Amino acid sequence: MPPSPDLAGKVVLVTGATGSFGNVFIHRLLEEHEPASVRVFSRDELKQYDLRRKLDDDPRLRFFLGDVRSLRRLTQATRGVDVLVHAAALKQVPACEYNPYEAVQTNVIGAENVVSAAIANNVPKTIALSTDKAVNPVNLYGATKLCAEKIVVQGNAYAGDSPSRFSCVRYGNVVGSRGSVIPLFKRQAEDGLLTITDEAMTRFWITLDQAVDLVVNSLDRMQGGEVFIPRIPSMRVVDLAEAMAPGVERRTIGIRPGEKIHEVLLTEDESRHAAAFDDHFAIHPSFPFWRETAYPTGEELPPGFRYTSDNNDRWLAPEELRSMTAAVIGVD
């Protein structure tokens, strides 16, 4: 990917920068996009140390210990920032269910603080990471991410005459991210028994590199208020199990609380003010009075269109899944 004009020579701050996405995004940012500096904002000093070593102590890196729950710290960290990528979140569904106050503090209040700090320091572009779990949420994690999306999109209204603009990207399950099903299946395969919640289950599937490409491209496209959704393949969980552990015994244990059989990235109601492009959909806000120019015109979606993991036109075959998972876990 050629250097992005929105990143080359710019000061970029990444919240949740030591997570799965942040690690890959920052590596790609330094290698491909020639930023002036990258501010690593996260809570864990050990993970920051590990990232510093992994990136050979690149002189463009700046390390900020902090929590998105702290508006004061975020306001300090965003001074002079050109681009803010908000990736910090509590994302483990069971942990969020058990600790709802903590999930709200990080995912909802944290999003509000990111918007407030960006406006206070006139950060031109902020893009936040969301998830298919935010669509018709059935668990607290999804509900907090839905709130975060609304807060970020409406941040454009709070910005007033500020140059600050806000958008979101929304995507599905990430191959090999922390806490994903791949390391679980790998451990279970070694024990000779895989647990499947429901054999009909499907999921959207995206690699970390594809997620980074989505964010970079969305920074180039955004005018403020959009939710960008990639057109990505689906996979069947039973196909993933067969790809990772052919012939290993499987047991169906039933769907867990807060879990869906199929995921949704775009609803019928959202599609009424969304447009389709070759590699993505863009949901446009209903009342974008801050908009200076018209949003790009894409293909109009048919009435009642919805984009779900079970009605996708692209599916990953077991051999594709085998190749992807082997790359993630380092086995053939």
CB atoms within 10 A of CB 104: 17
**Does residue 295 or residue 86 have the better pLDDT?**
86
| Interatomic CA distance for residues 312 and 229, integer angstroms | 14
pTM above 0.85, yes or no: yes
- Hey, CA dihedral for 257, 262, 265, 271, is it positive or negative? negative
Q: What is the mean pLDDT of the chain?
A: 92
Report yes or no: 71 and 93 within 8 Å, Cβ to Cβ: no
Nearest CA-CA partner of 74 in 44, 109, 125, 48: 109
| Closest C-alpha among 221, 311, 222, 226 to residue 270 | 226
The answer to whether position 145 is within a domain reads: yes
In this prediction, residue 244 carries a pLDDT of: 87
Judge whether residue 238 has pLDDT over 60.
Answer: yes
- Specify the higher pLDDT residue, 296 or 23: 23
Given a cut of 50, whether residue 331 has pLDDT beyond it is: no
Residue 189 lies in a domain: no
Instruction: Report pLDDT for 108.
Output: 98
Task: Give mean pLDDT, residues 76-80.
Answer: 98
The least confident of 133-137, 177-181, 244-248 is: 177-181
The residue among 288 and 261 whose pLDDT is bigger is 261
Residue located via tokens 């050109």: 82
Catalytic residue annotation: 133
In a domain, 26, yes or no: yes
- Per-residue pLDDT band at 325 (split at 50, 70, 90): confident
| CA distance linking residue 240 with residue 242, whole number of Å | 5
**In whole angstroms, what is the distance from residue 316 CA to residue 112 CA?**
37
Residue 330 has pLDDT above 70, yes or no: no
The domain tally of the chain equals 1
Q: Are 294 and 233 in contact (CB under 8 A)?
A: no
* Three-state secondary structure readout of the chain: CCCCCCCCCCEEEEECCCCHHHHHHHHHHHHHCCCCEEEEEECCHHHHHHHHHHCCCCCCEEEEECCCCCHHHHHHHCCCCCEEEECCCCCCHHHHHHCHHHHHHHHHHHHHHHHHHHHHCCCCEEEEEEEHHHCCCCCHHHHHHHHHHHHHHHHHHHHCCCCCEEEEEEECEECCCCCCHHHHHHHHHHHCEEEECCCCCEEEEECHHHHHHHHHHHHHHCCCCCEEEECCCEEEHHHHHHHHCCCCEEEECCCCCCCCCCCEEECHHHHCCEEECCCEEEECCCCCCCCCCCCCCCEECCCCCCEECCCCCCECCHHHHHHHHHHHHCCC
**pLDDT-above-70 percentage for the chain:** 96
Cβ-Cβ contacts under 8 Å for 58 (sequence gap 6 or more): 30
Residue located via tokens 């500096």: 37
Q: pLDDT at position 327, please?
A: 65
Assign 178 a pLDDT band (cuts: 50, 70, 90): low
The mean pLDDT of 75-85, rounded to a whole number, is 98
Q: Is the model's pLDDT at 292 over the cut of 90?
A: no
Q: How confident is the model at residue 107 (pLDDT cuts 50, 70, 90)?
A: very high
Per-residue model confidence as pLDDT tens digits over 166-176: 999 999 888 86
Q: Does the residue 165 lie in any domain?
A: yes
* 185 lies in some domain: no
- Whether residue 124 is contained in a domain is answered as yes
CA–CA dist 269, 283 (Å, integer): 10
Residue 24 structure tokens: 């890959």
pLDDT at 319: 84
Which of 22, 66, 57, 2 has its CA nearest to residue 12?
Answer: 22
Asked if residue 330 belongs to a domain, the reply is: no
Q: What is the mean pLDDT of residues 113-140?
A: 97
pLDDT-derived band at 328 (thresholds 50, 70, 90) equals low
Residue 250 located in a structural domain:
no
Q: Indicate which CATH number applies to the domain containing 161.
A: 3.40.50.720
**pLDDT band per the 50, 70, 90 thresholds, residue 194:** very high
Q: Torsions phi, psi of 56, nearest 5?
A: 55, 35
Q: For position 67, what pLDDT does the model report?
A: 98
What is the pLDDT averaged over residues 207-232? 96
Provide the percentage of residues in the chain whose pLDDT is more than 90: 77
Pairwise pLDDT comparison (257 vs 321), residue with the higher score: 321
Section 305-331 average pLDDT:
83
Domain that holds residue 66: 11-172+206-231+264-308
**Mean pLDDT across 267-291:** 90
